[in-house]
Structure 1
């Protein structure tokens, strides 16, 4: 799990880099219409035309260089599908332990073994057979590119939720973590410390997942800003060093131009449905093929409701989001009024109290545990224009609201 999440971040980032750097590569003639190599695996499917949907397999390999990654197991497997008409990207994540058919094997196996048996070519075929859709191109990366990307963009600003201290001289490379709590810009070294730390979270891996999601969002958002154009020369060099793809530069350029206005909210991340199961002493992820087929059909027929993953929550999900409402206005009963309003909407208010010593004219809403979607919905509900991210996995509530006198209406 710890390696998978690290490479997942790299895979997502490298796809963003592909879409944003294609034009620069083309204009600077790094390659005059050719791919990076003349000996790349070719899709067995007909390639899409300019305005047709394109599907790109993204695999992350936990290896230090391209040589050692050639037939290594893939830690991350994702299919990125981009519709030039809607300007939407769907990233379909496939757990590496997914039990599926691999061509040439007599029995079902873990899908990440396909790369061991037949390299990226067999991986493309395995994903095609599982999802039932064509795979046109691939992007393969190794995790060491992440540190370089962080430095290329000038570091990434995150709020470190706690002091992080850990040392493991036997790790490869040796792991020494020494970070102070608070908002700060992480360089490549500190970013790797932040991403690899997991001992201090109350809920261990889940806390680490939340922290890594915060980092991913911050970095992806930075890569999608217009100012990134000044960083493209460095990013392109990193791309050439750490990324292997069979997508020609001219094709990459075409899609980059079509996707140039994509925002973070236009990228939808989905994990194929299923459950873990122990078979003959080994753990597998067993996909629910009926549910998967419905999702694939909806995505490719443009009937998939993306809001159910981002903006819309069922009542049962809302009840899982805990909220504390603190009265900072000195207006008696105002916090209770706001709490009751939230409860009517299905939210779980676990604490109503007062803030002592300070009078707040404006209301502050804090996302404490990576509940960004709910935080935004609550802000809209209360008419608060801005939210604040102050991650603290040890906080009692997922979201903290300090009610100001501006809500007296």
Structure 2
């Protein structure tokens, strides 16, 4: 009997060991399956993350490409002809807008002040060309001659850029357009301008909301007074005297901008530009423009008035001298050979 009991005990121990080994095998199998499942999930997540990064990069690249394509298309729509010989310059068309009454009796904003500001990218030297608003032109795509000031009314900045490009035979890389209010705010933000007023200036035109009253002598003018100074037409010199004053003003303004006290005023100036100034410059142009402006020369800018003469039939019209303009451009841009070959 004792032997049978011992055999039963032995068999129970063997059975328990077998069950214990089976449980261990099941646990190991479950642990391996769990580990395999976790690894699979992690791999799937990693693959998904890589895919998301790739798709994200593709999306960003596509977005950037679309933005740049839109930028180049917008630029091509207004810029007109380009000339690689002028890659060393940045030419900016500056337009002062006025929607008041004028002798053309046309409605809408007009480019009362038109000048081309040219920056030498290497030396930082500045050149500028004053174009009388009464310059007689025949813009492409229009059926009639008109004053340059009215070209803006007819087709805005893009048409102005193309017409100035054609008139001067030089490419226009950017444009800036600001109205009288924004102009006055900018002058006030700079702290005003010191300039010599060559004669007493008194003129009133209620219809154009124009009141000019300045005394002769060296004066410090605020934004409103600078407007009066630039818009005044003397009985003796008329528009010629007005363009000469614009030349003197640009040189005085340039010296004011270069002063150290202008630096803390830059945030206010930038805010005025952001809110009130129309410009073609976009984010793609900002680095280039900042680099050019950083190297501005301390030398006074060189300025010229567009070659031409009053019309014999109407002395309020300025007839451009095409041969004289070509010679002007060759003198202003000697490094760009053939710069005026496209002027007509």
TM-score, L = length of structure 2: 0.60
Residue 234 of structure 1 corresponds to: 268
Give the 5 Å matches for 1:7-406: 42-45=78-81, 52-63=88-99, 72-158=109-195, 168=204, 170=206, 172-173=208-209, 175=211, 177=213, 185-192=220-227, 216-263=250-297, 265-279=299-313, 283-302=316-335
Residue 24 of structure 1 corresponds to: none
Q: Do the aligned partners of residues 227 and 213 (structure 1) sit closer, same or farther apart at CA in structure 2, a change above 3 Å counting? A: same
Q: Distance in 2 between matches of 1:249 and 1:243?
A: 15
Q: Distance in 2 between matches of 1:205 and 1:276?
A: 9
Q: Offset at 1:167?
A: 8.1
Answer yes or no: is the 8 Å Cα contact 1:52–1:84 preserved in 2. Answer: yes
Q: Do the aligned partners of residues 264 and 86 (structure 1) sit closer, same or farther apart at CA in structure 2, a change above 3 Å counting? A: closer
Q: Distance in 2 between matches of 1:221 and 1:231?
A: 15
Unaligned runs of 5+ in 2: 1-66, 101-105, 338-344
Residue 14 of structure 1 corresponds to: none
SS in 1 for 2:311: strand
Answer yes or no: is the 8 Å Cα contact 2:80–2:161 preserved in 1. Answer: no
Q: Distance in 2 between matches of 1:128 and 1:203?
A: 28
Answer yes or no: is the 8 Å Cα contact 2:95–2:177 preserved in 1. Answer: yes
Q: Distance in 2 between matches of 1:59 and 1:93?
A: 11
Answer yes or no: is the 8 Å Cα contact 1:114–1:122 preserved in 2. Answer: yes
Q: Do the aligned partners of residues 189 and 52 (structure 1) sit closer, same or farther apart at CA in structure 2, a change above 3 Å counting? A: closer
Q: Distance in 1 between matches of 2:246 and 2:114?
A: 18
Q: Offset at 1:70?
A: 10
Q: Offset at 1:197?
A: 6.8
How many residues get paired? 264
Q: Offset at 1:124?
A: 1.4
Q: Which range moves more in the overlay, 226-235 or 150-159?
A: 150-159
Decide which structure has the larger Cα Rg and report it: 2
Q: Offset at 1:180?
A: 7.1
Q: Distance in 2 between matches of 1:297 and 1:50?
A: 12
Q: Which range moves more in the overlay, 257-266 or 224-233?
A: 257-266
Q: Do the aligned partners of residues 258 and 180 (structure 1) sit closer, same or farther apart at CA in structure 2, a change above 3 Å counting? A: closer
SS in 2 for 1:265: coil
Q: Offset at 1:61?
A: 1.3
Q: Distance in 2 between matches of 1:44 and 1:87?
A: 25
Q: Offset at 1:131?
A: 1.9
Cα RMSD over matched residues?
4.3
Unaligned runs of 5+ in 1: 1-31, 305-409
Answer yes or no: is the 8 Å Cα contact 2:109–2:153 preserved in 1. Answer: yes
